[in-house]
Amino acid sequence: MALPKIKQDATEARLSALDLPEGGWSARARGEALARVRAMGLPGARDEYWKYTRPDTLVGAEAPQAAVFDADEMPVFDAVDRLKIVFVDGVFDADLSDDLALEGVEIDRLAEARDIHWAQDLYGVLEAKGQSPVERPLAALNTAFASDGLLIRVTQTPSKPISLVYHHRSEVSDAILHHVVKVEAGAQMTLLENGPAAARFNKCMEVDLADTARLHHVRTQGRDHERRAATHIFARLGTESVFKTFTLTVNGVLTRNEVVVEFTGDDAVAHVAGACMGDGDFHHDDTVFITHDAVNCESRQVFKKVLRNGAVGVFQGKILVKPGAQKTDGYQISQSLLLDEDSQFLAKPELEIYADDVACSHGSTSGAIDDEGLFYLRARGVPRGLAEDLMTIAFIAEAVQEIEDEGLQEEIVGRVEAWLARRRS
């Protein structure tokens, strides 16, 4: 079916502003991804999947300007013993990065194109698979045009996490990065991400977990307020593998985080969680699609949004249970804490189930701070403002607890406390 003219024009306008990188081994995948983009067209305001989030600034030929943000606090994972890899406005920075060497892990850069590479079997492959049944054109655009990214293959559990750190130095930077993470059988790794990436950031990460592999992913987005970001994670889970991803988002005029998970092996676990803190001109969209195509897998989606001064939160979450995916355990909760009447939470939970022996539940709520808890704290002498902050921490706790490591949980809560404290004073 031909695209509507207006969509075709918008897509070509964006494409004309981009150059296909020299791909080497990835050239073919990039060419195919470009064809996908042209076939699908970039998202438009009338697309059902973009009903609650305006895509125009994400797909426009030029990135809207975004002021460079300099934080007055220590970056979030600086205290963690880690292998640090830095991108400045989407450009790898060797001076700021550690050597890309970690026992048990092979790390290469996408930009260092060679003729053959293990990532050839994954790059753009999981993304392409994730285009059905719902189209994600920005991810295909990413596969075609990504300027760089990391190709991480974990063969043995490394001694420390890999930490991707982003810096934003240019008001007009328009970064497209694409990472591929493959964890081999029996290995596990923690992957951290933090920092403002660019004025506009399109990021895609493909994750392939072999049988019994584990990946823990913890990322923060913020406090660079004016940036726009569209991110995708495509994860494929083998038998008895575990994938846990958590995202804390603070500030940001526009963020859309999509997570697409497919269970292909039995007895695997995926936890997808996030908390966001929005104040004022803030629009945050979590869009999740989990496909159960294996037996006895567990998926959890836990999303909490704290919204004030007209901030907008969106959640679109789907659990698809395919025929034969018996003993599926699917859980989904999306909740918002609306700190005033101007803020808005839009939720579209969906379940589509074609197997008969499954347990799936979902819930979505919007509400104010719990009065009982607030009174309890105040009755102990905690002043109202601080008591409200503690109740806000309590509200996001269920999502934060999806992070396995207690130290990382504390890092995240510390950031939220600081965000709240800045607004109280």
Partner 1 sequence: MLEIKNLHVKLEEEDKAILKGVDLTVEAGKVHAIMGPNGSGKSTLSYVLSGRDGYEVTDGTALLEGEDLLEMEPEERAAAGLFLAFQYPVEIPGVGNMTFLRTAVNAQRKARGEDEMSAADFLKVIRAKAKDLKIDAEMLKRPVNVGFSGGEKKRNEILQMAMLEPKMCILDETDSGLDVDAMKLVSDGVNALRDAGRGFLVITHYQRLLDHIKPDVVHIMADGRIVKTGGPELALEVEHNGYAGILEEVA
In the complex with partner 1, which residue's Cβ is closer, 354 or 376?
376
In the complex with partner 1, which residue's Cβ is closer, 72 or 406?
406
In the complex with partner 1, which residue's Cβ is closer, 18 or 374?
374
CB 379 → partner 1: shortest distance, Å?
5
Determine the Cα–Cα distance for residues 320 and 32; give it in Å rounded to an integer. Answer: 27
CB 415 → partner 1: shortest distance, Å?
14
In the complex with partner 1, which residue's Cβ is closer, 378 or 423?
378
CB 273 → partner 1: shortest distance, Å?
13
Lookup result for tokens 């897998």: 297
Report CA-CA distances (Å) from 275 to 117, 336, 345, 367, 402.
36, 10, 13, 15, 11
Please choose, from the candidates 215, 197, 112, the residue with its C-alpha nearest in 3D space to the C-alpha of residue 157.
215
| Sheet containing strand 283-292, strands side by side | 105-109, 150-154, 174-183, 200-209, 228-237, 254-263, 283-292, 312-321, 344-353
Please choose, from the candidates 14, 105, 29, the residue with its C-alpha nearest in 3D space to the C-alpha of residue 62.
14
CB 275 → partner 1: shortest distance, Å?
10
Sequence-distant (6+) residues with CB within 8 A of 411 are 76, 77, 79, 80
Residue 119: enclosing H or E segment and its boundaries?
none
In the complex with partner 1, which residue's Cβ is closer, 9 or 410?
410
CB 406 → partner 1: shortest distance, Å?
10
In the complex with partner 1, which residue's Cβ is closer, 101 or 381?
381
CB 250 → partner 1: shortest distance, Å?
17
Task: Supply the DSSP string of 338-382, one letter for each residue.
Answer: ESSTT-EEEEEEEEEE--SS-EEEEEEEEE---HHHHHHHHHTT-
Q: List contacts with partner 1 (CB under 8 A).
A: 371-373, 375-384, 386-387, 390-391, 393-398, 400-401, 413
CB 371 → partner 1: shortest distance, Å?
7
The answer to whether 113 and 149 are in contact (CB under 8 A) is no
In the complex with partner 1, which residue's Cβ is closer, 116 or 379?
379
DSSP letter at 116?
Answer: -
DSSP letter at 51?
Answer: S
Beta strand 298-308 pairing with 344-353 = unpaired
Please choose, from the candidates 172, 185, 175, 178, the residue with its C-alpha nearest in 3D space to the C-alpha of residue 214.
185
CB 386 → partner 1: shortest distance, Å?
7
In the complex with partner 1, which residue's Cβ is closer, 298 or 389?
389
